[in-house]
C-alpha cells in the first residue's frame, strides 16, 4: 500500500473518486480502488495527489514505490505548486536496477518520479512510477522543485556494454559526434529505435497528461538558469548542469521530435 500513501492523504478526494469509478466507498485507496480506477479511466499516473489519465499503451506500474526507503528515511519533500517541466536523465543498468539504487540510497539524496526501461525478469519494457508528482524528487539540484524527474534506465558507458546489450539488443556503441565538449569524441552506448520510441511516446503522453503540451521543448545543449529552464516543457539534465552530459547523445531520439 506504500504506493498509495500520498493519494491516501486526501480522504475526501479518495471518497469522491471511489464514487465516480464505482468502487466501494471507504476513503482508502488500495488495490481494489486502483483496479476500479483503471477500469474506468484506462491508464493513469499519480499527479499532484490525484489520478490523471495518460494516453499510453503500457500500464504505468506502481509496484516500485519510493515513498519510504528501506532504512525508514524519505527522499522527497512536498511540492507547493504544479511542476513546470520534465527533466530527463539516464539512470541504472535497467529499470529494476535503477529502482534498487534509489531504494538503497542510504542517506544520499537521489530519487526520481518515473523510471523507463527493460524489466529483465518479465522481459519487457516498463514504466515505473516511484513517486507522486506532488512530491519533489532529488534528481536535478535547484531544478528539483520545478520539475518531474524521468530516468531512462540504460547505461551510456561502454564499461557496461556487455550487460547493456543483453537488455537492449537494439543499442549500439558509437563515437559521439555532437559538437558539445561534454560528449564530442566520447565512445558511448547509443539508444536504439525500439527503446527510444517507447520513451518518446511516454514523454509525449506525460507532457499532455500534466498539461505542459503548450510549452516548448528544449532542443539545444545550452545550460540554463533554473528559472529559464522552467520555461521548457522538457529539458535534459545537461540543460541544468554543465557537469552533466545526460542525455545529450540520446535527446534527439528521446524528445526532439515530439510536436
Ligand atoms: Zn541526471
Q: Ligand 1 center to residue 244 CA distance, Å?
A: 7
Mean pLDDT of 121-132: 97
pLDDT band for position 106 (cuts 50, 70, 90): confident
Specify burial of residue 40 (Cβ count, 10 A radius: 0-12, 13-18, 19+). middle
Global pTM exceeds 0.95: yes
In the predicted model, is pLDDT for residue 232 greater than 90? yes
Rounded mean pLDDT, 102-114: 93
Amino acid 188: pLDDT: 97
The set of cell numbers assigned to 192 is 536504439
In this predicted structure, the answer to whether residue 174 has a pLDDT above a threshold of 90 is yes
Q: 189 has which bridge partners? A: 173
Cα 83 from chain centroid (whole Å): 13
* Mean pLDDT of all residues in 182-193: 97
CA of 139 to the centre of ligand 1 (A): 6
Per-residue pLDDT at 41:
98
pLDDT digits (tens, 9 = 90+) for 153-165: 999 999 999 999 9
* 81 Cα: distance to centroid of ligand 1 (angstroms): 23
Structural domains of the chain ordered from first start: 2-41 (no CATH), 76-256 (3.40.80.10)
Tell me how far the alpha carbon of residue 151 lies from the centroid of ligand 1, in angstroms.
Answer: 8
Helices and strands (H and E) in the chain: how many: 7, 11
What pLDDT was estimated at residue 137?
98
Rounded-to-integer distance, Cα 89 and Cα 107, Å: 21
Q: Are 193 and 169 in contact (CB under 8 A)?
A: no
Q: How far is the CA of 153 from the centre of ligand 1 (A)?
A: 11
Q: Is the pLDDT at 56 greater than 90, yes or no?
A: yes
The 3-state DSSP composition of the chain as helix, strand, coil percent (nearest 5) reads 30, 20, 50
d(CA 190, ligand 1 centre) in Å = 16
CA of residue 112 to ligand 1 center, whole Å: 10
Looking at residue 1, what is its pLDDT?
84
From ligand 1's centre to the CA of 90, what distance in Å?
6
Amino acid at each position: 500500500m506504500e504506493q498509495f500513501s500520498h493519494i491516501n492523504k486526501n480522504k475526501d478526494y479518495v471518497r469522491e473518486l471511489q464514487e465516480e469509478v464505482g468502487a466501494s466507498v471507504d476513503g482508502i485507496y488500495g488495490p481494489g480502488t486502483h483496479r476500479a480506477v483503471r477500469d474506468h479511466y484506462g491508464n493513469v499516473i499519480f499527479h499532484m495527489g490525484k489520478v490523471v489519465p495518460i494516453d499510453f499503451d503500457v500500464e504505468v506500474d506502481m509496484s516500485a514505490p519510493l515513498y519510504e526507503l528501506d532504512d525508514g528515511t524519505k527522499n522527497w519533500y512536498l511540492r507547493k505548486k504544479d511542476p513546470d517541466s520534465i527533466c530527463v536523465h539516464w539512470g541504472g543498468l535497467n529499470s529494476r536496477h535503477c529502482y534498487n539504487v534509489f531504494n538503497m540510497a542510504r542517506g544520499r539524496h537521489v530519487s526520481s518520479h518515473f523510471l523507463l526501461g527493460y524489466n529483465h525478469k518479465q522481459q519487457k519494457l516498463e514504466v515505473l512510477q516511484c513517486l507522486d508528482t506532488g512530491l519533489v524528487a532529488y534528481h536535478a539540484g535547484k531544478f528539483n522543485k520545478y520539475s518531474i524527474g524521468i530516468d531512462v534506465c540504460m547505461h551510456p558507458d561502454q564499461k557496461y556494454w556487455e550487460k547493456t546489450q543483453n537488455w537492449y539488443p537494439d543499442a549500439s556503441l558509437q563515437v559521439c559526434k555532437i559538437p558539445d565538449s561534454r560528449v564530442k569524441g566520447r565512445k558511448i552506448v547509443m539508444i536504439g529505435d525500439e527503446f527510444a520510441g517507447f520513451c518518446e511516446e511516454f514523454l509525449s503522453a506525460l507532457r499532455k497528461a500534466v498539461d505542459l503540451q503548450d510549452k516548448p521543448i528544449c532542443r539545444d545543449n545550452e545550460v540554463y538558469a533554473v528559472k529559464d529552464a522552467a520555461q521548457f516543457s522538457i529539458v535534459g539534465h545537461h540543460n541544468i548542469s554543465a557537469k552533466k552530459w545526460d542525455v545529450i547523445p540520446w535527446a534527439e531520439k528521446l524528445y526532439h521530435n515530439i510536436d
